Amino acid sequence: MVILLFSGDLDFMPTEIYRYEDAIRILKILLSKIPCDRRRGYWTLRLSVDLEHMGRPNESISISEGGVIDPWVRAGSKLALQRRVLRLSKPPRRWKIPSYADYVKRNIKEVHITLIVINGKFHLLAHFIFMLNDLCLLCFSYY
C-alpha cells in the first residue's frame, strides 16, 4: 500500500523540510520494491542527491553508478546520473575515468525549428509549414 502511494511524482517528499533520512529510506524502499518503472531514474538521482546532502558521497557515487547501468532508467535521467558520477568521482575519491566520460562532455549542436501557421483558428484544423534553416521541408496538419 505504501508503494502505491509513493509511486507517483515525488515533489512532496520530506527533503523539502530537510528530512533527508526519511526521504532516503522511502527512495530505497521504492527502488527495491518496484523493479520496472519509468520513474526509477528520477528516484535514483534524487537518492544520490540526498545522500550527498547527508555527507555520504561514496554511497552517492555507488547509487549513481548503479542507476547508470539500470536498464529501466531513461535517457534524460541516465545522462544526469552520468554527469553526477563524473562530477563526484574526481581524484582522490576515484581515479578511474568511466568509459562514457567523452560522451557526456561533448557539445550538442542546437537546431532551431520554426513552424509557420497557414490557417490557424482556435478549435479548428491548423496547417503548419515546418521550416529548417529557411528551407520548407514539410507541411502537416494539427487538430
Query: What domains does the chain contain, in order, with CATH numbers?
Result: 2-105 (1.25.40), 113-142 (no CATH)
pLDDT for residue 22: 92
Distance CA(101)–CA(69), nearest Å, equals: 14
> Are the CB atoms for 41 and 78 separated by under 8 Å?
yes
The predicted pLDDT at position 67 comes to 95
Written as tens digits, the pLDDT of the chain (143 aa) is 344 445 555 555 554 557 889 999 999 999 999 988 889 999 999 999 999 999 999 999 999 999 999 999 998 899 999 999 999 988 888 888 888 888 888 887 877 666 666 665 555 555 566 666 555 555 554 44
- Determine phi and psi for 7, rounding to 5 degrees: -80, -5
What contacts 101, CB < 8 A, 6 or more positions away? 86
